[in-house]
Structure 1
């Protein structure tokens, strides 16, 4: 491919600024941030506690960062006008009412009626990379499956749920994996195999429609892209940009492997699920399998090896220095889950975590983010 464009979707939680409790004001916040009422960059999510942004198609890390900063800022400003905080976290810190109030689409009520207790308030980051056609995207998916645990460990930003430490760095991923159409994608033998797998999910009712195929990597139904859905929503704009540029570089490296005849590693589905659980438990400060060897190694080692593998593509994109700076800084200050736990440990006060998240969500630089 001559130009590797990409974009990011991010989901956020709204809470009362005084109590930290979830606030069912998504529609008001979204409309307040969009005076025209027709902005596709600000989108509805499953519950009325959540809002979502979708960046335009981007070609550079700088462009992506500017758009995410702008969109996060608009929603945060609208939230502040209503005495609310916009939080970039995969799960709500404090206990929440159940079931959560649903947003306005009739489809959401149908989902709730069928899947009941699986409905939860969870926020992820979805990275889209442009592809020329579905067959190419399916081949990329096969090559990129082994990298899913590293992306999850890097993004893990949801240790708390219902007022308690879950014991996992990404409780969002553990909770989300309960959905019958979620989890890592199969290793596909062909486009026909992909279509047969989707048809099987629809046939047994595990998905209402193709939009409910929730694999961690999937073909997007709305855009000509391969969509990576494994990550928690990033605590800061720069961490979201880091995820975006790493996913794009991984896709470029996989494309190069396809061109040079390097085969994809057909990791068994159950092994990959186990690796994802380990990444969800440990986060950035723990261990995950190395995508090349399968050895269980510190995430910091796996990520540095990934940087080396991706070096020529990051150099071509002008993003190597950015990736090196951000990853080394994260090794120093810790990932999103670690920083949330640090905030809680100081006084044992959940509102300290809420306040940290509110500050981090709209800072222009991770280096400026209080920990």
Structure 2
């Protein structure tokens, strides 16, 4: 296990950071999954039937934008063990119901193979039809599956303040989570293609810097007024105050088969928010990050993933992506320690660095026979492993 310093220093920015709060924030995770046919391995439009079989849709198991997708949403959890247990129960329910319907549950961030026919939007959702009508071919990217971490409870001012300071670390989260090297039967040349395909939406991408919550709401309304979003819920930035819950929602990560990976991203998210709010309360200056460098660092993370080269979001200098992940752990080590999560996070990052990212594992599965169905079978088996 790696050990990470708990000294009060932000090693990437070279500035002291204040002691972190001992009051723990809560955790929640939303995960989106694909349903695939186990013969053709193409997306199966069976989400309505699956949800009916589990007594839904409801607050924990829901539909998504298309008939190929289902989503889980955990209850609010106080810590990592509770969150892992909730994720396991919900995933097990979905996987078993999928098997009963004759399909497989796949934690893949984009379709490795495309649907057999035209895109099938969720029925009974006029909003999705309106999105499709307004944005046309962009709607094809709705089939992407992410993992969204909620950290709370926060009011909107706190959520905006935390997002302002977390922005530099989003590329590290993207690299850690990269799980979409293949899309629609082709190698995309990226480790996290979902990040790039999703960034085509005018309301997606890096979260801008905001003066306060009022400034944030003005920006949201500009998107709506310009036609870049059909409503305020269609803000797809990497970080956003949730409109449904008193949380900051960290949206950048690909979904992946491993529940332990979900827990890692959740505790890192909580540690980032805790560290950010402590710095905000102490009146420390914002990190010196330009939008230009942040956008480049975000792209490089999606392109190279964890195995390649990253850009330091503070300086723009190149460094190994693995080192950027280690710097993230160092920067939030005091908050992880306060929550009792440091060993868990360090061990989980070590495991990714030793075994490879999920993008690398997909490529290894493909390399055996150069058959895309092997990738989907691998993802389906790993998703059910829990």
Same fold by TM (over 0.5)? yes
Match of 2:281 among 251, 254, 259: 259
Q: Could you tell me the TM-score, scaled by structure 1's length?
A: 0.94
Q: Which residue of 2 aligns with 1:179?
A: 201
For 1:82 and 1:51, how far apart are their aligned partners in 2? 14
Distance 1:344 1:101, change over 3 A: same
- Unmatched tracts of structure 2, length 5 or more: 1-20
**For residues 103-182 of structure 1, what are the structure 2 equivalents within 5 Å?**
103-104=122-123, 105-120=125-140, 121-182=143-204
SS in 2 for 1:234: coil
Q: Is the 8 A contact 1:142 1:266 kept in 2?
A: no
For 1:4 and 1:38, how far apart are their aligned partners in 2? 28
Query: What does the per-residue CA deviation read over 1:258-297, in whole Å, with 9 as the maximum and x for residues that have no partner?
Result: 1222221253323322211111001111122234554321
Which region of structure 1 is more displaced relative to structure 2, 111-120 or 260-269?
Answer: 260-269
For 2:65 and 2:89, how far apart are their aligned partners in 1? 23
What is the CA-CA distance between 1:352 and the residue it aligns to? 1.1
For 2:35 and 2:95, how far apart are their aligned partners in 1? 9
SS in 1 for 2:44: coil
Query: What does the per-residue CA deviation read over 1:143-192, in whole Å, with 9 as the maximum and x for residues that have no partner?
Result: 01001100001001011111110000111111000001000111112223
Matched, 1:299 2:318: no
Query: What does the per-residue CA deviation read over 1:179-231, in whole Å, with 9 as the maximum and x for residues that have no partner?
Result: 01000111112223212211110111100111001111011110011111111
Q: Is the 8 A contact 1:69 1:362 kept in 2?
A: no
Match of 2:81 among 62, 66, 85: 62
The total of aligned residue pairs comes to 362
Matched, 1:188 2:188: no
Q: Could you tell me the TM-score, scaled by structure 2's length?
A: 0.91
For 1:280 and 1:14, how far apart are their aligned partners in 2? 24
For 2:167 and 2:152, how far apart are their aligned partners in 1? 17
Match of 1:283 among 291, 295, 305: 305
Q: Is the 8 A contact 2:297 2:312 kept in 1?
A: no
What is the CA-CA distance between 1:63 and the residue it aligns to? 0.8
Q: Which residue of 1 aligns with 2:17?
A: none
Give the CA RMSD over aligned residues: 1.4
Q: Is the 8 A contact 1:99 1:119 kept in 2?
A: no
SS in 2 for 1:119: helix
Bigger relative contact order, structure 1 or 2 (CA pairs below 8 A, ≥6 apart)? 2
Q: Where does structure 1 differ by over 6 angstroms across 4 or more consecutive aligned residues? A: none
For 1:361 and 1:292, how far apart are their aligned partners in 2? 35
Matched, 1:4 2:25: yes
Query: What does the per-residue CA deviation read over 1:321-368, in whole Å, with 9 as the maximum and x for residues that have no partner?
Result: 11111111111111111000000001111111111101111323xxxx
SS in 1 for 2:306: helix
Q: Which residue of 2 aligns with 1:239?
A: 261
Match of 2:90 among 47, 52, 71: 71
**For residues 330-349 of structure 1, what are the structure 2 equivalents within 5 Å?**
330-349=352-371
Query: What does the per-residue CA deviation read over 1:50-104, in whole Å, with 9 as the maximum and x for residues that have no partner?
Result: 0000011011111111111111111110111122110001111113346410002
Q: Is the 8 A contact 2:296 2:311 kept in 1?
A: no
For 1:127 and 1:321, how far apart are their aligned partners in 2? 20
Q: Is the 8 A contact 2:190 2:302 kept in 1?
A: yes
Q: Which residue of 2 aligns with 1:90?
A: 109
SS in 2 for 1:285: coil
